[in-house]
Structure 1
């Protein structure tokens, strides 16, 4: 069961600017490439921060001061790594309240950008494909449960699990694996635990 990584969804060879890049040049790049932000990088191409449309708007509203990328940027840059799962990247975006993450390699060099709109692609996956992966990969292959014991319903990415589970310890694992399937928005647990009599 292979899950999408940051490397699968990021935009490679990201547009970037130097600390001394001017306000007007940044605005031109955002318009030319139809993007909403650019990473600011040092001489070694390591991200120092990010300048977004919002940063430019704030500069226009408040007038004085910031006229270069170094002064405009939000820093330090919150970055992602290509091997991260998209779930991890999404959680970092949510926690840090950012809409995009520069992606860096093992030496900290910029290799791409992951945006919130890239993550949305995951949730366009068809419900039938999600259901098949849960039944075949999660339930049957990974957990080695009988697919007939559980019912998996998927609607708009919302997974509902029902049926009987003999081992209650399996349920948290089942829920976690289902939640990690690409395209799943939420998982509802309606399974029942089978009462197994204990002998003396």
Structure 2
């Protein structure tokens, strides 16, 4: 069992900006390439930050409403400095939060979650830009066919990892929802099987109706 890697999911043809790219050029890059953010790279093609639609919209939010009906927001000093910026290096979110191509989906998703970002520039061992991976890219694993998920669970999880015969546990997959049924020798195997199945790319949920012949979860009574 192996998770799909960032390298398999990332976009390789990446639209880039330079630190001195002006505001209007950044807006044009986003609009013409139908993207919501671009990495900002130095002269060695190493990401130094990311400029997103949110970064650019901060400038509009900082403008006074001609009608006077909407108050100018009370921005923090760093927010105001970025709102008043005119080049990528002044507007970008920095430093760039990056991923490595060999990472799996779980690693990339966890970094996005903890850093509160929607995409990650992907860099090599010298920090040069290789691609970019977005939340939408990571979600593509849930487009896997049901039969591919079933085959991976049957062959990699149940047979190779757990060493169970196909007759012991059956697998049904519908729209990524996995249903397990059958019987195993030890009760302690059931949560292990369930957890391994949840780790298969494309699995939405797992339900199990697996019986056991030996309750090895019970501890023998202690002597008095």
TM more than 0.5: yes
Q: Do 2:187 and 2:215's aligned partners in 1 also have CA atoms closer than 8 Å?
A: no
> What is the Cα deviation at residue 170 of structure 1?
3.6
Classify 1:57/1:196 alpha carbon distance in 2 versus 1 (closer, same or farther; 3 Å).
Answer: closer
1:163 Cα deviation from its structure 2 partner = 2.7
Map residues 6-85 of structure 1 onto 2, 5 A cutoff.
6-63=6-63, 65-85=84-104
Larger Rg: 2
Aligned-pair CA distance for 1:169: 4.4
Distance 1:125 1:139, change over 3 A: same
Once the two structures are TM-superposed, the CA of residue 187 in structure 1 deviates from its matched residue by 2.7
Structure 1 residue runs without a partner (length 5+): none
Q: For residue 156 of structure 1, what is the aligned residue in structure 2?
A: 175
Which of the numbers 137, 142, 145 marks the counterpart of 1:126?
145
Structure 2: where are the runs of 5+ without partners?
64-82, 220-224
Measured against aligned partners, the alpha-carbon deviations of 1:102-128 in whole angstroms (never above 9, x if no partner) come to 001011111100011212221111222
**Aligned mates of 1:75, 1:42 — CA distance in 2:** 13
CA-to-aligned-CA distance 1:8-29 (integer Å, 9 cap, x gap): 0101141111111111111111
Greater alpha carbon shift after TM alignment, 16-25 vs 172-181: 172-181
